[in-house]
Amino acid sequence: MSESTMREQMGSTITELMDVDERLVMVLCDISTGLFEHAATAHPGRVVSLGIMEQTAVSLAAGFALEGFVPVVHSIAPFVVERPFEQIKDDFCYQGLGGNFISIGASHDYASDGMTHQAPGDVAILRSLPGMEVIVPGTPAEFDALFRETYADGAPTYFRTSSQVNRASRPVRFGQLDVVRTGSATTVVAVGPMLDRVVEACLGRDVSIAYCTTVAPFDTAGLRALAGDRPAPILLVEPYYAGTGIADVVQALAPASVRVESIGIPRRVLRNYGTADEHDAALGLTAAGIRARLDALLGATPG
Amino acid sequence: MSRRDQPGRDPAMLPMLRLLAGTHGDDKHDPSALSILDVVWVLYQRVLRHDPATPRSEARDRFLVSKGHGPIGLYAVLADRGFFPADELAHFLEFGGRLGGHPDRNLVPGIEVSTGSLGHGFPMAVGVALALQVKNSDRRVFVLIGDGEANEGSVWETALLAGSLHLPNLTGILINNHTSTRPLGDVAAKFSAFGWAASTIDGRDHVAIEAALRSQDATRPSMVVAEVDG
């Protein structure tokens, strides 16, 4: 399992579940169709390959949900979140229907394809939807565990898969922060694929690290328990637009006043191509970049 | 707000029209409400398998009002059929009432989908039709769209999609009261070109409406273009 990508894991996890859960329906828009050839043959009618029509795909999936099925809609992030955003809002959230939306191409994973194929704002806009669950796994195995735990929970759920992964999986549970280590100077919250570089950045620093794979609903109780009633500054490290989760952190620790710093993708148009690693380096989304921000927050001398 | 002397109307429609006449309407959507009246009344009266006592029964045919606009006409028909008390019509659009300017499936018995944002219900209907096939159900799916709604891109995505699928259980009804900013031309010809079994009828002629809605192609989805004068 550890050798597969999150995308491949999506194919194998869902194919396996479709064999045992007759409610599960896969709705595709010409992306990843090869991963579901077996399921399409084994379960006629439950793998629906529409063509490139993502707004129709989300509404059509809602039609399946109305009839008691559990649909999954999949495409690249801009096309499964931003283009059909209103369909997700109206047809799933407002109607009170459960379904799943799985993206590939997180933030600048597809850097060479340019801005049209990047969606660093996906989580920020989905956080505006009442009842929307947002999951950001850090490894294929974590996707597998979190999908199995939540796919049929009756809520609309977004899974943000990425080609950037952590080296080892953690024992993640839906809705729960995972405490990687404890310290006293500050708490660093690392979201999904940012964990490895956060752990490296925090070497030798007296800080807590909380690993977040469920962005919504945010684990308010978990952060309060870790940070305490008089919290030290919080550093939030996100793989999408910086500051997307600040409100969640502040609300979790209220009424205590807390300083929150965020590291993520800056809210400006990024016109470079290249690779995701090159973008990360340019934006300071590396262990060294995170350490520099952490040390500035702590007022420590970089060492 | 309704005209009772329309030629081709079944006199049995009068009680529903009286209910509708007692409402205060919704100025901006009255033409939309009136345009669907005859088709919706005939559908419920003569074609749609339904039981107001069990509005979510698996045995029902599904009717989705994709455009969601002007629902007072739909509410009047549903009240006439007994889905909810007719005196609720007097509270249309009121705070605390459940009959809103666009219908909510979670509030109103008989409403299959919450719509209002144009271009959503049509593709949802295709999903419902596909889902019924997976269930091996022989129930039918009717979906009503407006000519103005047909400006939306998702309507034509859906036309392309459904026309290439084996969906004899799906019947679209396009109410054409000629309010579209962009002239639609020969709508039936357009749907035929997309692979639908399409026809055009007088949307006030109850005999024609019933015949068109009862008709099913053996392999293709059907589209009934109902021409109305507003």
Q: Is residue A40 part of a domain?
A: yes
CA distance A83 to chain B (A): 12
Compute the average pLDDT of residues A83-91: 98
3-state helix, strand, coil in chain A (%, to 5): 40, 20, 40
Q: Are residues A195 and A260 in the same domain?
A: yes
Q: Are residues A151 and A118 in the same domain?
A: yes
Q: Is residue A87 part of a domain?
A: yes
Q: Give the per-residue pLDDT at B7.
A: 72
Q: Is residue A173 part of a domain?
A: no
Q: Are residues A92 and A192 in the same domain?
A: no
**A255 prior amide bond cis, ω within 30:** yes
> Taking CB atoms and an 8 Å cut-off, how many pairs form between chains A and B?
90
Contact indicator for A158, A72 with CB cutoff of 8 Å: no
Of the three residues A91, A126, A160, the one that is the final residue of a domain is: A160
Domains, chain B, with CATH or none: 11-227 (3.40.50.970)
Compute the average pLDDT of residues A231-252: 96
Q: Which of the residues B58, B134, B145, B167 would you substitute to probe the A interface, choosing the one with the greatest number of A C-beta atoms within 10 Å?
A: B134
Count other Cβ atoms within 10 Å, centred on residue A259. Answer: 12
Q: Is residue A166 part of a domain?
A: no
Q: Which chain A residues contact residue B127 at CB under 8 A?
A: 59-67, 71
* pLDDT band (50, 70, 90) for residue B25: low
State whether A55 and B157 contact (CB < 8 Å): yes
Compute the distance between CA of residue A266 and CA of residue A269 in angstroms, rounded to an integer: 9
Of A157, A145, A36, A167, the C-alpha closest to A98 is: A157
Contact indicator for B202, B8 with CB cutoff of 8 Å: yes
Nearest 10 degrees: CA dihedral of A24, A26, A27, A32? 160
Q: Are residues A108 and A198 in the same domain?
A: no
**A78 prior amide bond cis, ω within 30:** no
Q: Give the per-residue pLDDT at B9.
A: 86
Q: Are residues A62 and A106 in the same domain?
A: yes
Local structure of residue A194 (DSSP, 8 states): G
Q: Which chain A residues contact residue B105 at CB under 8 A?
A: 95
State how far the alpha carbon of B37 is from the alpha carbons of A51, A80, B30, B200, B214, in Å: 35, 37, 11, 17, 18
Q: Is residue A151 part of a domain?
A: yes
Those of residues 92-111 in B touching chain A at CB distance below 8 A are: 105-106
Compute the average pLDDT of residues B85-113: 95
Q: Which chain A residues contact residue B125 at CB under 8 A?
A: 63
The range of the structural domain enclosing residue A229 comes to 178-296
State whether B157 and A69 contact (CB < 8 Å): no
pLDDT of B28 over the 80 cut: no
Q: Are residues A94 and A223 in the same domain?
A: no
CATH number at residue A277: 3.40.50.920
Query: Nearest Cβ partner of B161 from A50, A67, A86?
Result: A50
Of B125, B223, B136, B227, the C-alpha closest to B185 is: B227
pLDDT of B1 over the 50 cut: no
Q: Which residues pair with B145 in a beta bridge?
A: B174
Q: Is residue A281 part of a domain?
A: yes
Phi, psi of A101 (to 5 degrees): -130, 120
Which chain B residue shows the shortest CA-CA distance from A62?
B124
Query: Nearest Cβ partner of B161 from A56, A61, A90?
Result: A56
Q: How many structural domains is chain A composed of?
A: 2
Compute the average pLDDT of residues B157-168: 97
Of the three residues A101, A133, A160, the one that is the final residue of a domain is: A160
Q: Which chain B residues contact residue A51 at CB under 8 A?
A: 160-161
Contact indicator for A66, B128 with CB cutoff of 8 Å: yes
Q: Is residue A148 part of a domain?
A: yes
Q: Are residues A183 and A239 in the same domain?
A: yes
Contact indicator for A70, A21 with CB cutoff of 8 Å: yes
State how far the alpha carbon of A8 is from the alpha carbons of A35, A139, A162, in Å: 7, 11, 11
Degrees, nearest 5: CA angle B88-B65-A53:
145
Burial of A53 (0-12, 13-18, 19+ CB in 10 A): buried
Q: Is residue A17 part of a domain?
A: yes
CATH number at residue A47: 3.40.50.970
Q: Are residues A124 and A21 in the same domain?
A: yes
Tell whether pTM > 0.90: yes
Of the three residues A133, A160, A187, the one that is the final residue of a domain is: A160
Compute the distance between CA of residue A226 and CA of residue A222 in angstroms, rounded to an integer: 6
Q: Are residues A155 and A184 in the same domain?
A: no
Q: Which chain A residues contact residue B145 at CB under 8 A?
A: none
Which chain B residue shows the shortest CA-CA distance from A92?
B114
Q: Are residues A102 and A221 in the same domain?
A: no
Those of residues 125-164 in B touching chain A at CB distance below 8 A are: 125-135, 153-154, 157-158, 160-161
Q: Give the per-residue pLDDT at B215.
A: 98
- Strands A214-216 and A133-135 come out as antiparallel
Q: Which chain A residues contact residue B160 at CB under 8 A?
A: 51, 53
Q: Give the per-residue pLDDT at A4.
A: 82
State whether A91 and B125 contact (CB < 8 Å): no
Contact indicator for A138, A119 with CB cutoff of 8 Å: no
Q: Which residues pair with A73 in a beta bridge?
A: A27, A101
Q: Are residues A221 and A78 in the same domain?
A: no
Distance of alpha carbon A292 from the chain centroid: 25
- What does the pLDDT look like over A21-78, one tens digit per residue? 999 999 999 999 999 999 999 999 999 999 999 999 999 999 999 999 999 999 999 9
Q: Are residues A21 and A152 in the same domain?
A: yes
Local structure of residue A196 (DSSP, 8 states): H
